[in-house]
Amino acid sequence: MGASPTPEGVSFRVWAPTATSVEVEVYGHPQECHPMQPLGDGTWIAFISGLKSGALYKYHLNGEDSYPDPYSRSQPEGVHGPSEVVDPEAYTWRDRGWKGLEAKGLVIYECHVGTFTGPGTFDSLIDQLDRLAGLGINAIELMPVAEFSGTRNWGYDGVYLFAPTRNYGGADALKRLVDAAHQKGLGIIMDVVYNHMGPEGNYISQFSPYYFNSRYKTPWGEAINYDGPESQWVRKLVSDNACYWVHEYHVDGLRLDATFAIYDSSSPYLLQELGHTLRNSVPPERSVILIAETSENDVRYLLPSDTGGYGFDAVWADDFHQSMRRYLAGDNEGYYRDYRGTLEEVARTINQGFLYEGELSPFGGRNRGTPAREQPAQGFQYCLQNHDQVGNRAFGDRLHHVIDLDRYRAASMVLLILPYTPLLFMGQEFVSSSPFQYFTDHSPDLGRLITEGRRREFAYYSAFNDINSLEKIPDPQAKETFLRSKLKLEEAAKSPGAEISALYRELLRLRRSDPALSKQDRRAMQARAIENDILAVHFHAEEGDRLMLANFGEEKSLSASDISLDSIGGLRILLDTNEPRFGGSGNLVAWHGDTFKLPAHCAVFLAV
Residues known to be catalytic: 257, 293
* d(C-alpha 221, C-alpha 60), whole Å: 26
CA 146/CA 193 separation, integer angstroms:
9
User: C-alpha dihedral over 9, 14, 19, 22, to 10 degrees?
Assistant: -10
Residue type, 555: E
Cα 553 to Cα 172, 341, 579, distances in angstroms: 51, 14, 18
Quick check: 85 and 43 in contact, CB under 8 A? no
C-alpha span between 241 and 89 (Å, rounded): 17
Write the CA distances from 79 to 204, 208, 455, 460, 483, integer angstroms.
11, 18, 27, 35, 22
Give the per-residue SS3 of 330-342. Answer: CCCCHHHHHCCCC
Tell me which DSSP letter residue 424 carries.
E
User: Angle at which helices 343-352 and 318-329 pack, to 10 degrees?
Assistant: 170
C-alpha 95, offset from chain centre: 24
Q: Is 39 exposed, middle or buried, given 0-12, 13-18 or 19+ CB atoms closer than 10 A?
A: exposed
3 state SS for 551-599: ECCCCEEEECHHHCCCCCCCCEEEEECCCHHHCCCCCCCEEECCEEEEC
Largest CA distance in the chain: 90
Distance CA 429, CA 412 (A): 9
The identity of residue 271, as a single letter, is: L
Residue 314 is given by DSSP the state E
> Could you tell me if 382 and 321 are in contact, meaning their C-beta atoms sit under 8 angstroms apart?
yes
Measured distance CA(313)–CA(479) in Å, rounded: 37
Sequence-distant (6+) residues with CB within 8 A of 191 are 141, 142, 143, 144, 155, 254, 255, 257
Which ranges constitute the DSSP H helices of 72-206?
113-116, 122-126, 129-135, 170-183
Mapped onto helix, strand or coil, the DSSP state of residue 161 is: strand
State the number of CA atoms in the 13 A half-sphere of 531 facing the CB.
14
* Helical (H) or strand (E) element with 350: helix 343-352
